[in-house]
């Protein structure tokens, strides 16, 4: 590094332009295209996570006070398994896909060839600061792109560690980390990227898309939404409760895009459900959750204040039936359950992204399905039931990025399923092969020979030519033969 830490330059528009120029040059050289280069980078990425597990866990703890096991499950092991999968499948992903051709283009052969988009920008989020920066990067690298990573500035220890380790282990002529906040991100967004992959809020997602629109850059936006959990009464309650509580509070204390946001259940079943939840919470976090080491903290005072405001809302303060304890100085917030808050309360009109869990009760569960989707399609929606009809109705009518029946959040770990939103929860998807495709252009290739030139295509036009064209375009072999016979 030329500069020392004292004279560190601000990353401004000029720096962004120069960075882009450098990366375009490297990309044009073809360096990122080879299978060998991609494999080497992916293997080194594995090494980062293998050799620096402790440093990573320390950084995440410093930034978010997340329990180590959570960080391990949600961040480190998913990166490892993504890398492993990419390494194992890359050969297959890179192969051209042969496709059938019809008599319309006979004789011909065709295939679809995958190629990298070029120079891509990945903007990570703060709640899973390692995962949401590196997981998309795995796809971008596997697809042969040059990459700029912008990790979240709300996690300075992790951001700095990512910059250091990526700089040390990966090919820094093609893969770069730019640290910074609004100013640096704006400078980056002014450039013309071949793709921008963004994880974060809908508000910032719009800013990213607006910047992309100026250059007609394709974007993938992984946003969030209010992920509902609909709970029926005919279920294995202890298992369901663990899965709901796990998805909510064991995922960064509710600060996750696919964490259950609120519950919908029947008036009859609610007391039993609430009882079971309270019980489980105590078993997990003890009588005083603020003392528990297994609960992640709120990321910063802004978000803490935001959550406090949701609870202090007049419409809601009388509805707290469990929890509500908070420690502002240490950014600790206890799992809190609310019962039947009004639908126009703040807590029901924005993504909670925290440990508050409203429970809404209805007479019939199906009545809630419309309400769920009318609030803007969430990233995930969950249903707990053994009733087959209810399952089918839910799957058919509830639109969300992904659905899970009888569990929560697990689909995130299943790499054969595309992970992404729809409507307000985002656009585009990734994980597994979908990550590779998110950063690729699938180029159509048609091979023709010179034999069999249908002169019906060319002027001077005539009725006979029209007949033959009709037969050719309809794919009718008989028609073609008849037209040809009629011709001669």
Helix (H) or strand (E) holding 333: strand 332-333
Burial class (CB in 10 A: 0-12, 13-18, 19+), 450: exposed
**Can you read off the two tokens belonging to residue 94?**
């890179």
Helix (H) or strand (E) holding 19: helix 13-28
Nearer to other proteins, 142 or 258 (CB): 258
Shortest distance (Å) from residue 20 CB to other proteins = 14
Those residues with Cβ within 8 angstroms of residue 228's Cβ, 6 or more apart along the chain or in another chain: 260, 261, 262, 263, 264, 368, 372, 378, 381, 382
Whether 437 is catalytic is no
Nearer to other proteins, 309 or 464 (CB): 464
Shortest distance (Å) from residue 358 CB to other proteins = 22
Shortest distance (Å) from residue 424 CB to other proteins = 6
Residue with token string 């000029």: 14
Shortest distance (Å) from residue 414 CB to other proteins = 6
Whether 222 is catalytic is yes
Those residues with Cβ within 8 angstroms of residue 401's Cβ, 6 or more apart along the chain or in another chain: 377, 378, 379, 380, 419, 420, 421, 422, 425, 426, 429
How many other β-carbons are positioned within 10 Å of the β-carbon of residue 375? 17
CA pair distance 65, 129, nearest whole angstrom = 13
Nearer to other proteins, 37 or 72 (CB): 72
Backbone angles phi, psi at 411, to 5 degrees: -60, -20
Shortest distance (Å) from residue 323 CB to other proteins = 16
> How is 402-430 classified by DSSP, letter by letter?
EEEESSSSGGGG-TTS-EE--GGGEE-EE
Nearer to other proteins, 241 or 263 (CB): 241
Backbone angles phi, psi at 265, to 5 degrees: -145, 175
CA pair distance 425, 420, nearest whole angstrom = 8
Nearer to other proteins, 28 or 181 (CB): 28
How many other β-carbons are positioned within 10 Å of the β-carbon of residue 346? 17
**Can you read off the two tokens belonging to residue 125?**
């989020």
- What DSSP character marks residue 72? I
Nearer to other proteins, 159 or 336 (CB): 336
Shortest distance (Å) from residue 115 CB to other proteins = 6
Nearer to other proteins, 254 or 319 (CB): 254
Shortest distance (Å) from residue 468 CB to other proteins = 10
Pair 144, 117: CB distance under 8 Å:
no
Shortest distance (Å) from residue 26 CB to other proteins = 15
Pair 162, 130: CB distance under 8 Å:
yes
| CA-derived radius of gyration, the chain | 27
Q: What is the dihedral of CA 383, 385, 389, 393, to 10 degrees?
A: -10
Helix (H, G, I), strand (E, B) or coil at 256: coil
Length in residues, the chain: 488
Catalytic position from the list 70, 75, 184, 222: 222
Catalytic position from the list 83, 155, 174, 257: 257
- What DSSP character marks residue 456? G
Shortest distance (Å) from residue 234 CB to other proteins = 11
CA pair distance 413, 73, nearest whole angstrom = 10
Closest by CA position to 427, among listed 126, 218, 207:
218
In 118-218, beta strands by DSSP E: 119-123, 146-150, 175-177, 195-199
Residues annotated as catalytic (active site), given as ranges:
222, 257
């Amino acid at each position: 590094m030329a500069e020392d830490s004292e004279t560190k330059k601000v990353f401004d528009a000029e720096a962004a332009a120069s960075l882009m120029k450098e990366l375009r040059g490297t990309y044009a050289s073809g360096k990122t295209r080879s299978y060998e280069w991609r494999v080497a980078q992916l293997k080194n990425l594995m090494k980062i996570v293998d050799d620096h597990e402790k440093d990573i866990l320390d950084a995440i703890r410093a930034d978010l006070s997340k329990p180590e096991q959570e960080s391990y499950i949600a961040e480190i092991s998913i990166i490892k398994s993504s890398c492993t999968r990419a390494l194992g499948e890359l050969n297959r992903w890179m192969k051209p896909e042969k496709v059938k051709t019809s008599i319309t283009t006979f004789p011909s052969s065709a295939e679809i060839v995958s190629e990298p988009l070029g120079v891509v920008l990945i903007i990570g989020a703060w709640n899973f600061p390692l995962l949401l920066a590196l997981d998309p990067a795995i796809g971008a690298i596997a697809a042969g792109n040059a990459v700029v990573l912008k990790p979240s500035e709300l996690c300075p220890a992790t951001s700095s560690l990512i910059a250091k380790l990526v700089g040390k282990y990966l090919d820094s002529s093609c893969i770069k980390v730019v640290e910074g906040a609004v100013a640096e991100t704006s400078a980056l967004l002014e450039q013309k990227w071949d793709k921008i992959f963004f994880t974060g809020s809908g508000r910032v997602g719009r800013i990213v898309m607006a910047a992309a629109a100026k250059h007609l850059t394709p974007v993938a936006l992984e946003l969030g939404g209010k992920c509902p959990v609909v709970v029926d009464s005919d279920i294995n309650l202890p298992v369901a409760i663990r899965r709901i509580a796990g998805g909510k509070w064991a995922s960064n204390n509710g600060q996750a895009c696919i964490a259950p946001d609120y519950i919908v259940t029947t008036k009859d079943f609610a007391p039993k459900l609430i009882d079971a939840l309270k019980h489980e919470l105590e078993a997990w976090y003890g009588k005083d959750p603020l003392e528990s080491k297994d609960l992640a903290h709120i990321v910063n005072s802004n978000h803490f204040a935001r959550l406090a405001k949701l609870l202090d809302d007049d419409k809601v303060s009388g509805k707290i039936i469990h929890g509500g304890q908070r420690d502002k100085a240490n950014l600790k917030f206890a799992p809190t359950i609310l019962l039947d808050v009004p639908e126009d309360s703040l807590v029901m009109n924005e993504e909670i992204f925290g440990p508050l869990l409203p429970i809404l009760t209805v007479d019939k569960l199906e009545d809630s399905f419309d309400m769920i989707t009318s609030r803007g399609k969430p990233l995930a929606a969950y249903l707990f039931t053994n009733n087959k009809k209810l399952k089918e109705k839910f799957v058919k009518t509830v639109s969300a990025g992904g659905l899970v029946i009888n569990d929560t959040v697990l689909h995130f770990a299943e790499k054969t399923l595309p992970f992404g939103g729809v409507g307000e929860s985002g656009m585009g998807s990734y994980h597994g092969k979908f990550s590779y495709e998110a950063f690729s252009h699938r180029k159509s290739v048609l091979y023709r020979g010179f034999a069999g030139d249908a002169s019906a295509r060319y002027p001077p036009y005539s009725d006979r030519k029209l007949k033959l064209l009709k037969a050719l375009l309809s794919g009718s072999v008989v028609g073609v033969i008849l037209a040809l016979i009629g011709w001669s």
